[in-house]
């Protein structure tokens, strides 16, 4: 599943190529992804893309009065094809083409169809999915004092807390596991037991891990490609995620895997307390 760094990388790749361009029309080959494709997207006609933004794991195509909101679900991918003739060549899972400036195609491919496209007429910030998202982890609003206060109030395992999108949005499973490892904090620790110093270190490391992953183009754990068909290389730098029974890179103890709320948790019991 594409997590925040992967979505940020995609946004950064398509933004310079699509900003200021016109969506001439769309070619829609399915009625429904996770949700029914809105009529406004089916009938779109010469609409200017003012900007491309990311919020959480959503990609936003900001138009003059409306916003197209794209969520990639589990297997959604965006490709940019540089010849309009490519719209005649497509595969079973190529569900949406946006024809841009009569020469580019923004293509959406999704094998499992858990992704979705929405049309927001009002300010996108008021969208039903976007308005419940917590702070962006790479902004100053997400800081040590904020996380410390919430950690004291909630009696939750720290990993569950930092993965709660209403508290901070977009720290997925990979990055939660990795941030806790380099912060020497056990994922199962009750959040209210963490000291201000530990929280400060954790917040710093969450920002570091996400920024590094964006720099290396995301993690690409399972079947995930960037729009230029390159593979993200951050997975080479992982310490614990997906490393059950492998040796910890710091102390050579075996990495342990447990389940927390049906998500895999990986940790080193020597390095993390």
Instruction: State which residue, 23 or 271, has the beta carbon closest to Zn ion.
Output: 271
Distance CA 96, CA 92 (A): 11
Q: Which is nearer to Zn ion, 219 or 272 (CB)?
A: 272
Point out which residues bind Zn ion (CB under 5 A).
248, 250-251, 253, 268, 270-271
Choosing from 2, 5, 137, 157, the catalytic residue is: 2
Q: Are 104 and 86 within 8 A, CB to CB?
A: no
Q: Which is nearer to Zn ion, 196 or 237 (CB)?
A: 237
Minimum gap (Å) between residue 253 Cβ and Zn ion: 5
Is 2 labeled as catalytic in the residue annotation?
yes
Catalytic residue among 3, 6, 8, 198: 3
Residue in the block written with tokens 């769309």: 26
Shortest distance, position 184 Cβ to Zn ion, whole Å: 9
Asked whether 173 and 125 are in contact (CB, 8 A), the reply is no
Q: How far is the CB of 211 from Zn ion (least distance, A)?
A: 23
Q: Are strands 94-100 and 67-71 parallel, antiparallel or unpaired?
A: unpaired
155 versus 253: smaller Cβ distance to Zn ion = 253
Q: Which residues pair with 80 in a beta bridge?
A: 106
Min separation Cβ 181 and Zn ion, Å: 8
Distance CA 120, CA 126 (A): 9
Distance CA 40, CA 226 (A): 27
The distance of closest approach from Cβ of residue 199 to Zn ion in the complex, given in angstroms and rounded to an integer, is 21
Nearest C-alpha neighbor of 26 from the set 84, 79, 99, 88: 99
40 is catalytic: no
Residue 104 phi, psi dihedral angles, 5° rounding: -120, 150
CB atoms within 10 A of CB 253: 12
Nearer to Zn ion, 176 or 271 (CB): 271
Angle at 7 between CA 248 and CA 58, to 5 degrees: 125
Please identify every residue annotated as catalytic: 2-3
């Amino acid at each position: 599943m594409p997590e925040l760094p992967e979505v940020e990388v995609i946004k950064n790749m398509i933004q310079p190529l699509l900003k200021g361009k016109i969506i001439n029309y769309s070619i829609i080959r399915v009625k429904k992804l996770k949700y029914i494709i809105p009529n406004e997207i089916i009938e779109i006609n010469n609409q200017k893309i003012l900007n491309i933004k990311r919020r959480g794991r959503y990609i936003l195509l900001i138009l003059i009065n409306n916003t197209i909101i794209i969520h990639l679900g589990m297997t959604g991918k965006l490709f940019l094809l540089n010849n309009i003739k490519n719209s005649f060549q497509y595969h079973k899972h190529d569900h949406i083409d946006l024809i841009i400036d009569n020469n580019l195609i923004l293509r959406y491919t999704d094998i499992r169809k858990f992704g979705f496209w929405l049309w927001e007429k009002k300010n996108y910030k008021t969208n039903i999915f976007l308005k419940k998202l917590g702070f962006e982890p790479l902004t100053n609003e997400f800081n040590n004092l904020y996380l410390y206060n919430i950690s004291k109030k909630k009696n939750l395992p720290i990993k569950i807390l930092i993965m709660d999108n209403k508290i901070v949005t977009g720290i997925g499973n990979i990055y939660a596991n990795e941030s806790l490892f380099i912060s020497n904090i056990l994922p199962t620790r009750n959040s209210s037991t963490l000291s201000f110093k530990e929280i400060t270190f954790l917040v710093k490391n969450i920002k570091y891990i996400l920024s590094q992953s964006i720099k290396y183009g995301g993690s690409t754990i399972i079947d995930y490609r960037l729009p230029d068909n390159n593979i993200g290389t951050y997975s080479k730098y992982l310490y614990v995620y997906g490393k059950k029974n492998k040796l910890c890179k710091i102390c050579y103890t075996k990495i342990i895997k447990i389940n927390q709320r049906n998500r895999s948790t990986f940790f080193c019991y020597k390095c993390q307390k």
